[in-house]
Structure 1
Amino acid sequence: MATAVTTPEQAGRRRSWRRLPIVHQLRQSVGLQRGMLIAGLVLMGVFVVTAVFAPLLAPYEYGQLRDDQGTFGAQQAPSAEHWLGTTVGGYDVLSRVIWGSRTALYVIVVAVLLSIVLGVLLGLVSGYFGGWLDRILVVIADAVYAFPTLLLAIVVAIVISGGQSSMWGGIFAAAISITVVFIPQYFRVVRAETVRVKAEAYVESAKVIGASNRRIMTRHVLRNATRTLPLILTLNASEAILTLAGLGFLGLGIQPTAAAEWGYDLNRALSDVSSGIWWTSVFPGAAIVLTVLGLTLVGESLNDLADPRLRTRRRVADVPEDVPEDAPAGTPEVAAVPGGTLSGPDGVGAPHTGGTRA
């Protein structure tokens, strides 16, 4: 019988593919934990695809009030022309919901990027150098962190744009106000990790051989101090959507003629609820809930999988463990049987050192 030989390059590619971010977590998860992660990824995927392809998916523009047949009409019930009905202002609800996902994605990207860059930089400098600079930055971060999130975002949005702005003006106003809230979170996490990492032996060895502070911070400390940031990123993305919706609900967000925003649409639909006009509020609200739910499920699942105390271990008999990263290329995968001996892919006591059987 012919045998297929696994080359070192193929084995390396297979290990690299299995250790991709999300793929590695999916292989670690099991049961309800895996179901939560998959559900969150599906909701996140729908949100991102809807935002990216909004011009193709939306039947009308976000500010369109009429077509070839005339004006849409206000508060029209769902029909063949308008699948989700129209708003009190005469906008198509489906189009506003789809275009609103793009606005939310813009705010998330801008806010998270700004907060990560500033928070990581300040946390790295504060934790590495310490001293009076560290004490000042910690006091400032704690003072900002003590403010209610939405209240601080309202104040910053008013200062930046006066509460009324265009599409990009509103996006940047909301993103910057959210950034101010998020910076202390990244700062505190990175600072704590930096303080721990800089006491490690390899950092001390780098200092002994004469490495500069910049090289030590960028090559040794930064990489090990930012491993938990993906977990914070997903949770902060959901909080950014809620903050943006809160600003729009209070009338401090983006104007309807500049862009679609779910919070603003909910604000305009308040009077419709008591009149039995349900579609103007249900669909923007459902978009917020499902998007935040997807991001939260992914964040909580990644957090559980990153914590050995919370992670549910898979049965070794079902899926073998990955080969360690420091193992030489071509080393076969070996599964550890609890209470037993090491067993190779062939089920015998010693690992199978030849090719894989066809």
Structure 2
Amino acid sequence: MSTDTVIQPPRRRLRDRLPVVHQLRQSVGLQRGMLVAGLVLTGLFVLVAIFAPLIAPFGFAQLRDLEGPFGSQQPPSADHLFGTTVGGYDVLSRVLWGAQTALYVIVIAVILSLFAGVLLGLVSGYFGGWLDRVLVVVCDAIYAFPSLLLAIVMAIVISGGQSNLWGGVFAAAISITVVFIPQYFRVIRAETVRIKAEAYVESAKVLGASNGRVMFRHVLRNATRTLPLIFTLNASEAILTLAGLGFLGFGIEPTAAAEWGYDLNKALSDVSSGIWWTALYPGLAIVLVVLGITLVGESLNDLADPRLRGRRRVAQASGTVAETSVVPGGTLTAGPGGLGGLEDGESFDEHGIGVRS
């Protein structure tokens, strides 16, 4: 009577299947430090953006309180921790509300470009032909333009360069979307061209699956694995593009929403006069948010590399690294017993069974 039993691998817990937790458990050393720092900065940015109406001491366009006007270019004090701007706005409130505006633009721009770029890349790579050639030429032409210049042109076309909160947010988001679509298009098209030649795709076609089913059920599922990496990198680029639009005067009006690029533009003359607080804090906010999102994106990019992804698993399984020496006929290794096994006089036969000498 056979007593053989099949040992089932342990089931992964729900928290281990979460994307961030799973990637965090894979990372080691400096890579883990970069990922943790990026997650902390990004998480802080998202929390500030969500709770800005609650934690901001004043409104983004508020110029006075019960005690009277705030005053122009007031230095940091107990009443205004980050001072006031040349227009009389509270700098701390503008920085906090600006995080909310940046989050709106990131979400709208990346989602729009994600759907448009993925759909166009999927259709182009799957069907090919004249449609593929036309889409490739158009996307390459768009990609050849400087991104900020293209965003400026689109902002002027959409809103005339100035608008209210949602009009400005959508104008900036659509401007950035036009810049990002070619990036998603090129990645998804390349993956689709590769995947559609796989055996399982050909088998689905032979079995009578429609083009739509093959595209969305078999090809798309395997072609979108790198999208989270592009998403994080494009989110940081979206913040820089939004700040560039505001700095050049094509962003959102200050009475409609707070925007870091606009505040930096108005602080240019202050810097030469020794008024440092109006430019320091909006600029520092841009740097920290972009740094956090970039660290997350670069860490995920490294962990997506199979050569780097298994470092922790290999390091845990190997234990003590034994010395090796090259001899005629192959490499002499310490074997499962490590160096201690060789020093104790224990050797191993060709089947890996320990033999005491």
Q: What is the rounded CA distance, in whole Å, between the counterparts of 2:122 and 2:307 in structure 1?
A: 27
Residue 153, structure 1, aligned to residue 151, structure 2: yes
Bigger CA drift: 310-319 or 180-189?
A: 310-319
Match of 1:180 in 2: 178
Residue 139, structure 1, aligned to residue 137, structure 2: yes
Q: What is the rounded CA distance, in whole Å, between the counterparts of 2:313 and 2:48 in structure 1?
A: 38
Q: 1:234 to 1:158 in 2, by over 3 A?
A: same
1:18-57 per-residue CA deviation (whole Å, 9 max, x = no partner) reads 1210111111110000000000000000000000000111
Match of 2:296 in 1: 298
Match of 1:329 in 2: none
Q: What is the rounded CA distance, in whole Å, between the counterparts of 1:139 and 1:204 in structure 2?
A: 28
Alignment of 1:177-256 (within 5 A): 177-256=175-254
Q: Choose 1 or 2 for highest CA Rg.
A: 2
If asked which structure has higher relative contact order (CA below 8 Å, sep 6+), I would say 1
Q: What is the rounded CA distance, in whole Å, between the counterparts of 2:65 and 2:39 in structure 1?
A: 36
Unaligned runs of 5+ in 2: 1-7, 319-332, 337-357
Letter in 2 for 1:12: R
Match of 1:283 in 2: 281
1:271-309 per-residue CA deviation (whole Å, 9 max, x = no partner) reads 000000000000000000000000000000000010124
Alignment of 1:2-41 (within 5 A): 11-12=10-11, 14=13, 16-41=14-39
SS of aligned partner of 1:314: helix
- Cα pair 1:262 1:284 within 8 Å, conserved: yes
1:81-117 per-residue CA deviation (whole Å, 9 max, x = no partner) reads 0000000000000000000000000000000010000
Q: What is the rounded CA distance, in whole Å, between the counterparts of 2:267 and 2:118 in structure 1?
A: 40
Unaligned runs of 5+ in 1: 1-7, 321-337, 342-358
Q: 1:319 to 1:297 in 2, by over 3 A?
A: farther
Q: What is the rounded CA distance, in whole Å, between the counterparts of 2:152 and 2:303 in structure 1?
A: 35
Q: What is the rounded CA distance, in whole Å, between the counterparts of 1:11 and 1:290 in structure 2?
A: 40
Letter in 2 for 1:109: V
SS of aligned partner of 1:85: coil
- Cα pair 1:30 1:312 within 8 Å, conserved: no
SS of aligned partner of 1:165: coil
1:141-190 per-residue CA deviation (whole Å, 9 max, x = no partner) reads 00000000000000000000000110100000000000000000000000
Of residues 122, 125, 130 in structure 1, which corresponds to 2:123?
Answer: 125
- Cα pair 1:241 1:288 within 8 Å, conserved: yes
Aligned length: 317
Q: What is the rounded CA distance, in whole Å, between the counterparts of 1:244 and 1:319 in structure 2?
A: 47
Using the aligned pairs only, state the percent identity.
Answer: 79
Letter in 2 for 1:102: Q
Match of 2:67 in 1: 69
CA RMSD in angstroms, aligned pairs only: 2.0
Letter in 1 for 2:173: A
Alignment of 1:77-92 (within 5 A): 77-92=75-90
* TM-score between both structures, scaled by the size of structure 1: 0.85
Q: 1:33 to 1:72 in 2, by over 3 A?
A: same
Residue 95, structure 1, aligned to residue 102, structure 2: no
- Cα pair 1:73 1:90 within 8 Å, conserved: yes
Match of 2:110 in 1: 112
SS of aligned partner of 1:12: coil
The alpha-carbon deviation at position 318 of structure 1 amounts to 4.0
Q: What is the rounded CA distance, in whole Å, between the counterparts of 1:125 and 1:203 in structure 2?
A: 15
Q: 1:219 to 1:274 in 2, by over 3 A?
A: same
Match of 1:355 in 2: none
1:207-234 per-residue CA deviation (whole Å, 9 max, x = no partner) reads 0000000000111000100000000000
- Cα pair 1:40 1:293 within 8 Å, conserved: yes
